[in-house]
Structure 1
């Protein structure tokens, strides 16, 4: 069996992103590593200690200048993709995100294709959807 260990999320600013993923989504900081002018932070779920961890980094971290510039442009445009998280209580998770003043794009709704979900934008513009497990 193969499972996902890390999921990389490109962000503009590390500290505001930590606050979002910690306060709005409930993740815990596991590692905070600096290398020169760059920094990588891993966050994990306390409720699922063996689940994949998030890796937050800025566009130029570990990239060539050209690739970093390209990632930066895509991040600013908001076209780096989206991330779907799951939870056992979608409404409670939404209330936590709202209390943390997350940029809500969609309140919880029962989707015609099945799941109940909601959506927010992280401080860097990445789209995050949270669905009922």
Structure 2
């Protein structure tokens, strides 16, 4: 849950200035902590680790600092296969090359079946 209004740098990724991203991340985290979490009774938040995105690392760091002990932040490690990060970009590249063996290694069996079926039927 990231807001384009309070944290536009998140959606700019590579073009984002780190200092600006940190300020925006703090604002987004404070808004979540003070306005969203109490209303919804949220005491724990899960986020994904993103080793390829400095902006996401900034966001996760600012969430942890802002939440303190009020909200438990759990960072889920990024899936790695043979030391490489599994990402949607990597899956799309394998699909574009019709490298179905790689696609099959990177996604759940059900997802692979759906992708393969759609590619066969031109959807």
Asked if TM exceeds 0.5, the reply is no
Report the structure number with the largest CA radius of gyration.
2
Q: TM-score range by the shorter chain?
A: under 0.3
Which structure carries more relative contact order (alpha carbon 8 Å, separation 6+)? 1
Give the structure with the larger strand fraction. Answer: 1
Structure (1 or 2) with the greater helix fraction: 2
The TM-score normalised by the length of structure 2 is 0.25
Task: State TM-score, norm by structure 1.
Answer: 0.24
